[in-house]
Amino acid sequence: MLVDFGNGMALKLAYLFTSFVTAGAGVAHAAPPLLSALTLTFEDEFSGSSLDADHSAGWVSNYTIPSTINNELQAYTPDALVFDTTNGVLRLRADKRSYSGMGYTSGAITTFAKFHQTYGYFIMRAKLPAGQGLWPAFWLLPSNGKWPPELDVMENLGNDPSSVYLSNIWPGGQSQTKFTGPNFSAGYHSFALEWRPDVLIWYVDNIERRRYAGPGIPQSPMYMLVNLAVGGSWPGAPTQSTIFPQSFDLDYVRAYQFNPPLAGAILSAVTLSGIFVSKPIAQAGDTVTIISSARVGPNDLPDGVYEIGVCGYWGSPCYVFDVESTTKLKANSVASLTYNYKVPPFLPDDWYNVYVTLMAGGAATSSAVATRFAVQNSPNGFIANPPALSPAMVP
């Protein structure tokens, strides 16, 4: 589900799997880890009227991509996120409407540059949509933007709501299992992945459905992505029988770390401040000043070289604006960053999220809360706000 465009910029949501698909029968029905023995590191119950923007549960909602990937037909828009506050559910809504040259809109949320960890237990409880051309997924991607690896906790093709695909990709290889169970669009079900250095275990409704102990298990931090794609080379396009709107309904998403953390786990040992951006709207050639800082704690970081990087995020690619190296950081010390970014002419007109991230060995250890600015070169501007949903979805 990802295509790498090189230069560290990976565009997600492109169908890759041409390798073998095996049924889930015959695997051991082991129980998932005991949650009381784990440390909860991320939790969003979707009980409010907006996404939790805290570092502990931070999402990015304006997930966009600069070009059509894998023949998919949707544009991701922030207003495709519908909050059912009565039931504590977030609905990623797919609609048949035109936006930015695409014939459909849909929703996606990602913790890129906000939350990531190495190893642990990742779980989502959700109700899937049903219909030809729908493609919901819950997956993990590397925080440093270099793909592969990729871990797919769950993928589904809407024309077969009783089957889910449990997958992993690594440099030079990929593996996937198809598990067929109940109709996952008829009610809520849990989908989880236990990630250890030497084994990956997938669970559906708290029962093991796949175990992988081969090559290519990721060993560096990854972030989470939940999305509902429409169309694409794998599911195919919607047909007249596909009913819109459709929604991918999320009850909760949680992540846990092993206690104590496994050797090699990179923890978020740094708290980064919010970001000040001097220009909310800029043009090519303008200079945008970005200011932030990082506070270390509660423990010293090990000896080594760390990079404080400023990253502009437009959909999937991460345009790294700059990095500043620093040496060993003591507990409670503060590293400040001021960077003047000159907007290049190649950035298309759109909103850009900005992050400040602490990197160690090419892997992000923690990141600041995002802010954003717009690039607007066209005299006619661009659609800053997508058109209103019609008909409106009632939670």
Alpha-carbon distance of 185 to 179, in angstroms, equals 15
Closest by CA position to 196, among listed 124, 267, 263: 263
Contact 92, 228 (CB under 8 A): yes
Give the up-direction half-sphere exposure of residue 223: CA atoms within 13 A in the CB hemisphere: 28
Tally of CB atoms within 10 A around 141: 28
Alpha-carbon distance of 347 to 34, in angstroms, equals 47
* Structure-block tokens of residue 189: 């079900």
Closest by CA position to 329, among listed 305, 349, 309, 300: 300
Contact 141, 150 (CB under 8 A): yes
155 is catalytic: yes
Contact 194, 27 (CB under 8 A): no
Q: How many residues does the chain have?
A: 395
SS3 (DSSP) at 57: helix
* Structure-block tokens of residue 251: 């009850």
Catalytic-labelled residue, pool 150, 194, 208, 324: 150
Closest by CA position to 221, among listed 118, 151, 306: 118
3-class secondary structure for 269-329? Answer: CEEECCCEECCCEECCCCEEEEEEEEEECCCCCCCCCEEEEEEEECCCCEEEEEEEEECCC
* Structure-block tokens of residue 390: 């019609």
Beta partners for residue 309, in sequence order: 323, 357
Catalytic-labelled residue, pool 43, 45, 72, 155: 155
β-pairing verdict for 173-180 and 21-23: parallel
Alpha-carbon distance of 380 to 349, in angstroms, equals 10
307 is catalytic: no
Burial (0-12, 13-18, 19+ Cβ within 10 Å), 239: exposed
Longest dimension (CA), the chain: 61
* Structure-block tokens of residue 203: 């669970």
Alpha-helical regions (H) of 212-355: none
SS3 (DSSP) at 105: strand
Catalytically active residues, by annotation: 150, 155
